[in-house]
Structure 1
Amino acid sequence: MKRLSFLTHLLLAFVLAPVLASAQGTGTLASGKLPLVPYPSEITVGGTDFTIGSTCRIGITSGSEEDAFAVSTFTDEHDGTQWQVRNGSSFRRGGITVARIGQDKAADKVLSQAGLVPDENSDESYVLLSDEEKVIIGARTSAGIFYGIQTLRQLTYSDSEGNVRVRAARIADAPALRYRWIQDDWNRGPIPTVEYVKKQIRILSEYKINGYCIYAENIFKSEKYPQINMRGAVVTPEEIRELVEYAGKYHIELVPQQECLGHMHYTLREGGFDDIAERPRGQIVSPAVERTYTFLNDYLSEIVPNFRSGFVHVGCDEAFELGLGKSRSMVEEMGLDGAFFHHMDRVMNLPAIKDKKVLFWADVAANKPDIDLSVLPDNAVAVAWEYLPLDNYEYYLPQLRRNGIPFFVAPGAFWSTRVFPDFSNHMVNIRGFVRDGKKYGAIGMLCCNWDDMGEDLFDVGWLGMTFAAACAWQKEQETSIEEFRQAFDWAFYRNATGHQFADAIMAIADVQRPVSNVLMADWIWSVPFEKVGAGQQNHLQNLDLEGLRATVSSNYGKLHQCLSLAHHNESTLDAVLFCTRRLGFVLTKASLAAGLSQRYDAFCRDEDNGRIVNTALYDIAMPQCGLIGSLRDFTMELKDWHKELWMKENRPYHWAIIEERYNQLLKAWDDQLKLINLHLGDKSPREEVGFPFSRP
């Protein structure tokens, strides 16, 4: 009880008291949890916080440029302080010391006396000690120093009088998984600019992600096969090398992923590649053709040398056409699995990558408890993927462990085909898959983002990405979604007043639940006045449509009202607001279409007969303030906003396709207004006037 009383007093005195007090009912305050993401392995909070004055000394004992850079990620956030950074200096009280273990006897002694020793089993471990008179970060490696600094960033706050302070705490921390990676899909439309990838790297590193995997099919520039590249959609060796260099400073390795079996349609559609296609202009290359391996080796030899990673991902998932063409006799002789293993053996032994650890999508092992993976080469690393929120992943992981093959688990943080990320299900998927990955000995996590519809904004997905980072780092078997939600606002946005951002984002995501579990992206582009959109219209107008719209609208308003509370990563909120508005558009489109149908019926019944203004006719026919005019205006708003945000993240390539979708909607609204006006005089049956859906 004495410890609880002390922690309560300490935490209430902290500027984050509103955050923690609001979470008191969940036990966060009682357990002494601070809003940190990821949460440290061991932490004790206590004592008087360290005050950073108008000037503050930081001693870096190693004199290392890497450690100095890590320190700069902290000092750059507090430009109101005059920092006296001293490279090669030892521990002194009254300041901040960044020490490599074994290089500063005084710092080692203080840390040892506090019972803080970095975990010898991890090169990324660190310890942190902060109290009234000092802050010490200790680690054996530059990575450990970097991660200690990232935790220091979240421990630092400004009190009510504007003083910058560091929470008093003792921390010993190390990751649960050695490899904590994310994957970004660069081949389905959004190809990020170099500057935006740098932004991704900076943010990901804060939450101790250490790998960034680039999904590709035909975007890496090829001098040997230039015909497979598309103008405007080419990533050059110079760009990759620039990003590799930049990411290295943040302890993130860039990992190439180049599909080498399925998802090869962009290449196989080109002339001169029919001979390596399983079926002409199909989806997969054929393992029965020798030139397949010449091509793959040629292309990989152009890609891989630009990366420093010891890994390369060769994809090879969803090879649905295997055995349906040139490899038919091979599959008849070896079976589907045998033909797949034959291909993997050839790919993993290609000269371009034979010295790498080769990741591949492990579809072949799913639901096969007796599968024998011993035929795979020694450099094989399986990546088990599953994006559904299952109770467990026992159908997939035990056989990987039994076979002794190193493996990653690959959940999904968010992906295209959704109007708004389904964070509730995404988090359950991430939590459970990473939990079971830890249970069965996964060496890493590869959290995925997919862009199948080619229109997504990455900035909308940080809630899922940071949760994945927490799950992969934190030592406990299963990471608490609720505790993460309580911490997210401070850890990501430095909102010290509560968890308004996390609550609003989750509430918006959950609006999709009563609709159809998730709203698919084609609901954005459907037209209720056409046959294809009529079914969606019938479904939506039978729900509590206005209640759902009100929820989206109110939470959109809350996000806007809270913008001033975000003091970190605030630029990411623009995409969240846009996608919220886009979700509202789907619901508003259904509401306005229902209203237009009702107005037309009222007009046909002459309900406004005798009035000076026929209100039904006014709402139907007025091009500006009528219901169709509102659909047009909403569409234009989204089109302009989407383009603005797209260009902030991505290269112009592919935008024209998205723009055309908006243009088709605008034309559909114009066509519908013309059709209605054509039939107003004779009050034609509603089906002839473009109302194929049921009466609301």
Structure 2
Amino acid sequence: MALALHLLPTPRTLELTGGDVALPAALSVSGVDAEIIAVTLGARARPADAAKADVICSLASDGGDGDEGYRLRIGGTPLVTITARTPTGLRWALTTLAQILVEHPERVPALRIDDAPAFPIRGAMLDISRDRVPTMASLHELVAKMASWKLNHLQLYTEHTFAYAGHEAVWHASSPMTPDEMRELDRICATRGITLTANQNCLGHVERWLKIPGYEHLGELDRVNLLFGAWFHDPNTLIANDPAGLALVKDLLDQLLPTCSGGYVNIGCDEPFDLGHGKSKAAIEKDGFHHVYTRHVSTVASYVRAHGKRPMYWSDAEHAKPEIAALLPADIVPLVWGYDGGTEFAKRGRLFRDRGLEVWVCPGTNNWWSLTSRSQTRRANLARAAREGAEIGAKGFLNTEWGDAGHRQQWPLTLTGIADGAHSCWSGDRPFDDHALGLHVFGVPAMGAWMIALGSIESDVGVNFLGDMNASIFDAADRPDAVAKAQAADAKLAALDAALPACDALIERELRHAVAMARLSCARSQVRGTMPLDIDKRRAIGTSLAELLREHRQLWLKRSRYGGLEQSSDHYKRALNCW
């Protein structure tokens, strides 16, 4: 029987040539630096001369497609032959070989692989500001996994969680990344073939700055603002083009940029909700939003350029307009973002590409605002980004893991979402392989299908676990079929809980917690949909939530720093306090 093979990401072409090959317990490898051998194959391999090597690596002008492509052959003499145009291609070939050995540690299938990525820059962005800042151990683990999936770019989304000198009042309770930690992470990334890129929002999403005495005068507004007629929001936007605000931005960038060796800098500037509603109103009425906004973006971009780096910014859908594109600096990179299967990456990106700007597509993991993830939405979003990004010649593909609503998604969901993105930005819109997902994320093949099933319940049944958890217990469920849907979702959750494959102990705790919290959401929805409200059932739900909140706090500290935990817990406390 031919040996099956499951790789993440899926290679461009893979041909099983017949039979299998026994490999020694310790492979000898020639033609590549010892450091690359160590970080890809680990203890399974050692450097050797070509005459004695089991694995011979060599550079050749026809060794692969592009700078990162490679050709890998298993079978014959030598046992393994690898060619590539560059050392980077050799690195990714050895990374593929390492995955083959995970699935088949003793006998491997004879094969030919010709492989190359769909995008030259393949990244993940992790939100460390709302509200979870991972420990350094967690970041090291993430970087190692990213490299094993052939990602080569990392950003840490930052609003206030970098230890900026002179601004301790803003970040002191947030357990921020220190400059030394960022430099260490940069070094770890470099050894794994990953570039760490600085990320600091420089216009909107600065509410954590503006609420601190001494900074409030920098805000467009000095009071909460009603957004979209739906909810009140703290002031979140700097006064565009204000000298004092720009001086703050320059100070932050001057401190952060030297700690990250990446040649790009993400200056954010997305969702400036308050812009034009306060101190910039007169300027916008006189010059137009596009002039005021792009003037601010251009000034911040000049600060980045002074460090010899290239600016990039989040291109909001409503700002993808010719009048904005025409005023942007020629070297800025619009990050075309959107997080569902309907996002028009090509239409929006083409607007900037046709003006000669480098464009990236930025889909998302769809884990935020969720307890269980949104698997189908994520995969539709990733596939469309890959397909349309290739169509418009996007250079980069940045998969975003946000932390809205208290970053309550558990770490296994984060890893799954980033791994799905790694597949899409290397393999394009080819089908996802759940077996490979489970094997190369968790070491358990069956975990892939389980994770996707967990993340499909909301869409399959038509429920929103976190929305129902956040709703007041005293608000009647607004859907006539809410009780039936909650019961159907709970049955699916119970079945998945019973079928969770054996896995790492902490992963199991995190996933059972996610399931338990989602089931509690179902219970709350059923109580809200049944009138009159039953006091004993309400009390039982409150007691269960208190216990799950305790576990949320315990699990948080296993992988993340204390800073942000209270803000995350407050989301559950609001539900608890209206039991």
TM-score (norm 1): 0.75
Q: Could you tell me whether the CA contact under 8 Å between 2:70 and 2:114 is conserved in 1?
A: yes
Distance 1:472 1:351, change over 3 A: closer
Distance 1:544 1:335, change over 3 A: closer
Partner amino acid, structure 2, of 1:587: C
Counterpart-to-counterpart distance in 2, 1:158 and 1:272: 57
1:100 to partner: Cα distance: 3.6
Counterpart-to-counterpart distance in 2, 1:320 and 1:658: 23
CA-to-aligned-CA distance 1:324-371 (integer Å, 9 cap, x gap):
333233222321111111112211112674521111011277553x44
Matched, 1:90 2:42: no
CA-to-aligned-CA distance 1:290-347 (integer Å, 9 cap, x gap):
2222221111101111111111100001112222333233222321111111112211
Distance 1:346 1:471, change over 3 A: same
CA-to-aligned-CA distance 1:521-540 (integer Å, 9 cap, x gap):
24224453x2x3x2358652
1:90 to partner: Cα distance: 0.9
Query: Where does residue 64 of structure 2 map in the other structure?
Result: 118
Matched, 1:429 2:381: yes
Matched, 1:60 2:4: no
1:68 to partner: Cα distance: 3.1
Partner amino acid, structure 2, of 1:165: R
Partner amino acid, structure 2, of 1:99: C
Q: 3-state SS of the aligned residue for 2:7? A: coil
Query: Where does residue 468 of structure 1 map in the other structure?
Result: 421
Partner amino acid, structure 1, of 2:69: S
Partner amino acid, structure 1, of 2:257: V
Query: Where does residue 227 of structure 2 map in the other structure?
Result: none
1:392 to partner: Cα distance: 4.6
Query: Where does residue 226 of structure 2 map in the other structure?
Result: none
Q: 3-state SS of the aligned residue for 1:521? A: helix
Matched, 1:166 2:115: no
Q: 3-state SS of the aligned residue for 1:146? A: helix
1:549 to partner: Cα distance: 1.5
Distance 1:574 1:132, change over 3 A: farther
Counterpart-to-counterpart distance in 1, 2:108 and 2:506: 25
CA-to-aligned-CA distance 1:605-657 (integer Å, 9 cap, x gap):
xxxxxxxxxxxxxxx76xxxxx5675355324422332232112210122234
More deviation, 251-260/221-230: 221-230
Counterpart-to-counterpart distance in 2, 1:628 and 1:365: 43
Distance 1:154 1:592, change over 3 A: same
Query: Where does residue 20 of structure 1 map in the other structure?
Result: none
Query: Where does residue 210 of structure 1 map in the other structure?
Result: 152
Distance 1:494 1:294, change over 3 A: closer
CA-to-aligned-CA distance 1:3-51 (integer Å, 9 cap, x gap):
xxxxxxxxx332x4xxxxxxxxxxxxxxxxx421111123221133221
CA-to-aligned-CA distance 1:197-223 (integer Å, 9 cap, x gap):
111111111111111111111111121
Distance 1:157 1:255, change over 3 A: closer
Q: Could you tell me whether the CA contact under 8 Å between 2:182 and 2:259 is conserved in 1?
A: yes
1:420 to partner: Cα distance: 1.8
Query: Where does residue 278 of structure 2 map in the other structure?
Result: 325
Q: 3-state SS of the aligned residue for 1:349? A: helix
Q: 3-state SS of the aligned residue for 1:245? A: helix
Q: Could you tell me whether the CA contact under 8 Å between 2:55 and 2:82 is conserved in 1?
A: yes
Counterpart-to-counterpart distance in 2, 1:667 and 1:284: 31
CA-to-aligned-CA distance 1:56-94 (integer Å, 9 cap, x gap):
3412334x2432323xx4244x5xxxx5x234x1144xx
Distance 1:278 1:152, change over 3 A: same
Query: Where does residue 146 of structure 1 map in the other structure?
Result: 91
Q: Could you tell me whether the CA contact under 8 Å between 1:417 and 1:520 is conserved in 2?
A: no
Q: Could you tell me whether the CA contact under 8 Å between 2:341 and 2:380 is conserved in 1?
A: yes
Counterpart-to-counterpart distance in 1, 2:516 and 2:51: 52
Q: Could you tell me whether the CA contact under 8 Å between 1:371 and 1:399 is conserved in 2?
A: no
Q: Could you tell me whether the CA contact under 8 Å between 2:477 and 2:528 is conserved in 1?
A: no
Counterpart-to-counterpart distance in 1, 2:21 and 2:505: 27
Matched, 1:137 2:82: yes
Query: Where does residue 545 of structure 2 map in the other structure?
Result: 635
Counterpart-to-counterpart distance in 2, 1:340 and 1:401: 20
Matched, 1:39 2:10: yes
CA-to-aligned-CA distance 1:92-126 (integer Å, 9 cap, x gap):
4xx53252426xxxxxxxxx9xxx7222x31x222
Matched, 1:489 2:438: yes
Query: Where does residue 431 of structure 2 map in the other structure?
Result: 480
Counterpart-to-counterpart distance in 1, 2:293 and 2:519: 45
Counterpart-to-counterpart distance in 2, 1:354 and 1:158: 45
Counterpart-to-counterpart distance in 1, 2:302 and 2:398: 23
CA-to-aligned-CA distance 1:404-454 (integer Å, 9 cap, x gap):
110111111124222321110111011112210110010011111111111
Q: Could you tell me whether the CA contact under 8 Å between 1:540 and 1:587 is conserved in 2?
A: no
TM-score (norm 2): 0.89
Q: 3-state SS of the aligned residue for 1:409? A: strand
Query: Where does residue 232 of structure 2 map in the other structure?
Result: none
Counterpart-to-counterpart distance in 2, 1:165 and 1:309: 40
Query: Where does residue 381 of structure 1 map in the other structure?
Result: 333
Q: 3-state SS of the aligned residue for 1:43? A: strand
1:400 to partner: Cα distance: 1.8
Matched, 1:197 2:139: yes
Counterpart-to-counterpart distance in 1, 2:84 and 2:239: 50
Query: Where does residue 459 of structure 1 map in the other structure?
Result: 412
Q: Could you tell me whether the CA contact under 8 Å between 1:414 and 1:421 is conserved in 2?
A: yes
Counterpart-to-counterpart distance in 2, 1:279 and 1:75: 54
Task: Summarize the alignment of residues 361-376 of structure 1 with structure 2, pairs less than 5 Å apart.
Answer: 361-363=314-316, 366=319, 368=321, 370-371=322-323, 373-376=325-328
Matched, 1:552 2:490: no
Partner amino acid, structure 2, of 1:86: P
Distance 1:345 1:552, change over 3 A: same
Matched, 1:587 2:559: no
Task: Kindly name which structure, 1 or 2, has the bigger radius of gyration based on alpha carbons.
Answer: 1
Counterpart-to-counterpart distance in 1, 2:351 and 2:435: 36
Query: Where does residue 265 of structure 2 map in the other structure?
Result: 312
Counterpart-to-counterpart distance in 2, 1:660 and 1:361: 29
| Identity level (%) | 22
Partner amino acid, structure 2, of 1:580: V
Distance 1:473 1:417, change over 3 A: same
Task: Summarize the alignment of residues 193-272 of structure 1 with structure 2, pairs less than 5 Å apart.
Answer: 193-272=135-214
Q: 3-state SS of the aligned residue for 1:168? A: strand
Partner amino acid, structure 2, of 1:38: P
1:251 to partner: Cα distance: 0.9
Partner amino acid, structure 2, of 1:457: Q
Distance 1:419 1:479, change over 3 A: same
Task: Summarize the alignment of residues 283-322 of structure 1 with structure 2, pairs less than 5 Å apart.
Answer: 283-322=236-275
Counterpart-to-counterpart distance in 2, 1:59 and 1:351: 42
Matched, 1:412 2:364: yes
Counterpart-to-counterpart distance in 1, 2:217 and 2:540: 53
**Unmatched runs of 5 consecutive residues or more in structure 1:** 1-11, 17-33, 103-111, 601-619, 622-626, 670-696
Distance 1:289 1:364, change over 3 A: farther
* Residue of structure 1 aligned with 2:2, choices 8, 13, 28: 13
Counterpart-to-counterpart distance in 2, 1:641 and 1:58: 46
Q: Could you tell me whether the CA contact under 8 Å between 1:419 and 1:520 is conserved in 2?
A: yes
Number of aligned residue pairs: give it.
566
Partner amino acid, structure 2, of 1:510: S
Q: 3-state SS of the aligned residue for 1:127? A: strand
Q: 3-state SS of the aligned residue for 2:71? A: strand
Counterpart-to-counterpart distance in 1, 2:236 and 2:464: 28
